Structure 1
Amino acid sequence: MRSYQDPCGVARALDLVGDRWALLVVRELMLGPKRFTDLHRDLPGSSQNVLSQRLRELEEAGVVRRRKLPPPAVVWVYELTAWGLGLEPVLLHLGRWGSRAPITTANRLGVTSLVLALKAMYLPGFEGSLELRMGEEVFFVETSREDIAVGRGPAARPDAVLKGEAGALASVLFQGADPREAVAAGELEIEGDEAAVKRLIGHLASSAT
């Protein structure tokens, strides 16, 4: 691995996660373990060789570990160590900072990126519970006037449930698309209190701000 040979903590951090794809691997594992095939699917621009190399380097650095899931799954997955999970606030701040840069790709936002963006862009003040369903993946969103919690699994008592692809949800939540137009176009389904969805949108920083 290349090194900046600089004792500064920033330089030492970049020695570990500064190579291409490294931080995006960390991003994809932030919400839980994934198989290699899942990571390669969710990072479509990466080659298998480069992805394997980054995972090996992150594992050697103690940021990522590989383990076998117990029966009946019995598959190998990659997950963040406790030290690796400590990168979450870095990713959230970096995502918030980067949201001001212009979007230069037609590719749509991924599921993990959308969920982390909710945490990064949340503006305190909204209280409510939502559930997001994107294909087979389900996430809860619980907000208070001070904080937001998101994670895998259904919400206990959601005010509303949103169903759609991550890109469609991102357009409504962050980019000003009208929820009713998205519903009419068949890109989004909303069950429950539509007003709760609009209130949450009002407490998410726009990528244009």
Structure 2
Amino acid sequence: MSASRTYGQFCGVSRAADLLGQRWALHIVRDLLIAPARFSDLLRALPGVPTNMLSTRLRELEAAGVVERQAVPGQRSVQYRLTARGRGLEPVIDALGRWGAGRMVAPEPGETVTSAIVASMLRTAFAGRAEPGPTTTTVFQVGGGPVAAWAEVTGEDIVVGDGEHTRPDLLIVAGPAMRAFLAGELTPTEFAAAPGVTVTGPVPLLELFSRLFRLPFDLALEEQRNEKQR
């Protein structure tokens, strides 16, 4: 990375910003936290990223020890995956996701939603608190068709993935109401009855989902919305 693109400070925040502050770098890390991907996969999953910029970012992340290349089993192509250092960014990405989501109510015109985004949202929203009783594994899937992601929860542990799961215990298909549900503005009953929402699975699992996954709105945003409603 050229000197003109660095902050020139002996500081951990500056060093991180030198690399991750470059356009699309955080998005690449976000998506690779879900699963390894080929160049073409990343290009498709990041609408708007120029091909040459994606190549540059991947080279920079690889040089920094964040990303590495590996052969795709049974194919002649290669895919990119995060190194141990790269996976160490998971709590950073999740914290940024929670902070940014605080003022997100609905997609703005032109904004896209991908399966990797939904998977990242599920991991970010996971409260990490085990339910009382014996430890069990529950698979929640949000969305269906081209945009879908799942979360497999076992006690306090969570594994997320993009795409459809073969056997989800609970399937949720929803639009804008999903954001209000994650914020705690809708009860499970209200959410299930909202327009455009389809829930397949036992009611107790939807109630469990509402306890395990939360992305509250920013307090200042809540106050602004309440003022408008008065």
Into which bin does the TM-score normalised by the smaller protein fall?
0.7 to 0.9
Distance in 1 (alpha carbons) for counterparts of 2:92 and 2:210: 23
Gaps of 5+ in 2: 132-136, 219-230
Contact 1:62 1:81 in 2 (8 A): yes
Aligned-partner residue type, residue 81 of structure 1: T
**1:81 to 1:61, Cα distance in 2 relative to 1, 3 A:** same
**1:123 to 1:67, Cα distance in 2 relative to 1, 3 A:** closer
Aligned-partner residue type, residue 8 of structure 1: C
Task: State which of 47, 51, 59 in structure 2 corresponds to 1:56.
Answer: 59
TM-score, normalised by the number of residues in structure 1: 0.79
Distance in 1 (alpha carbons) for counterparts of 2:104 and 2:194: 24
Aligned-partner residue type, residue 16 of structure 2: A
1:141 aligns with 2:152: yes
The alpha-carbon deviation at position 100 of structure 1 amounts to 1.3
| Cα RMSD for the two superposed structures | 2.9
Match of 2:121 in 1: 117
The alpha-carbon deviation at position 39 of structure 1 amounts to 0.7
Distance in 1 (alpha carbons) for counterparts of 2:99 and 2:48: 23
Distance in 1 (alpha carbons) for counterparts of 2:149 and 2:126: 19
Match of 1:179 in 2: 192
Contact 2:58 2:67 in 1 (8 A): yes
Distance in 1 (alpha carbons) for counterparts of 2:99 and 2:43: 26
Distance in 1 (alpha carbons) for counterparts of 2:192 and 2:216: 17
Distance in 2 (alpha carbons) for counterparts of 1:131 and 1:199: 10
1:206 aligns with 2:215: yes
**1:194 to 1:172, Cα distance in 2 relative to 1, 3 A:** farther
Match of 2:77 in 1: 75
- SS of 1:45's equivalent in the other structure is coil
Contact 2:29 2:82 in 1 (8 A): yes
Aligned-partner residue type, residue 86 of structure 2: G
Distance in 1 (alpha carbons) for counterparts of 2:122 and 2:20: 23
Q: Deviations over 1:26-54 (max 9, x none)?
A: 00100211111111111102111111111
Equivalenced residue count is 199
The alpha-carbon deviation at position 4 of structure 1 amounts to 1.0
The alpha-carbon deviation at position 91 of structure 1 amounts to 0.4
Contact 2:171 2:200 in 1 (8 A): yes
**1:138 to 1:118, Cα distance in 2 relative to 1, 3 A:** closer
